[in-house]
A and B are shown apart, each in its own frame.
Chain A
């Protein structure tokens, strides 16, 4: 069964540095998402992406964050000037046709800010 893959599985970064989290969505999917899950807390929506542009973003997704689909397969989340509170699991997801269809999640990248 096709999977959403995320790399790296664990990223350790010094506070203030930039980090790029990478995702390869399922190949025929059209909608892409990033979510965050701080340890022990609920999953939080960050951003959705469709047709090469952001379709919606949450209040968490401020100017520190950006997303990009640099080629036909990758979907990236960039976090600039990282802060301690950015430490979390970051999940990528994709869905086939429209946002009402179930999303398929990757296994996440654990981001640790030191």
Chain B
């Protein structure tokens, strides 16, 4: 079946360091990917997305890398700040002929920023 998994359940980084969170997906038909941030008691918050025709996309302090060959994507956060502490998870979307995207979510990685 489909699965989207994360390599590390918890990641601790020093404030100011860069963070890298990884995600593997199983369905090669997935063509759109989103990284979400979820703070305690809040809903998922969109961070950055990437489509399968790209291998890198940059936002403000964040970069997503997509390797379709090994079905892997990563989220890089530059100069990690205490406010970045949250659970991060990826979502893999797959289009259907009718246009609807079937989504599978990863479990999540908890990022802990050490001041």
Which residues of A does B touch, CB under 8 Å?
4, 41-45, 48, 55-56, 91, 93, 98-100, 102-108
Contacts and interface: CB of A to CB of B under 8 A. Distances in A.
Given A42-B89, A100-B95, A105 B45 contact: yes
B42 interface: yes
Given A91-B43, A104-B46, A105-B44, A44 B102 contact: no
Contacts of B4: 42
Contacts of A107: 41-43
Contacts of B103: 45
Given A41-B107, A42-B105, A44-B105, A100 B43 contact: no
A107 B40 CA distance: 10
A100 B102 CA distance: 10
15 contacts: A42-B4, A42-B108, A43-B91, A43-B105, A45-B105, A55-B98, A56-B102, A91-B43, A99-B101, A100-B101, A102-B34, A103-B46, A105-B36, A107-B43, A108-B42
Given A42-B105, A45-B105, 5 more contacts: A43-B89, A48-B100, A55-B98, A107-B42, A108-B42
Interface residues of B, number: 26
Contacts of A106: 43
A54 B98 CA distance: 13
A42 B99 CA distance: 24
Given A42-B107, A43-B89, A98 B99 contact: yes
B93 A100 contact: yes
Nearest to A58: B102
Contacts of B105: 42-45
A100 B53 CA distance: 14
Contacts of A42: 4, 89, 105-108
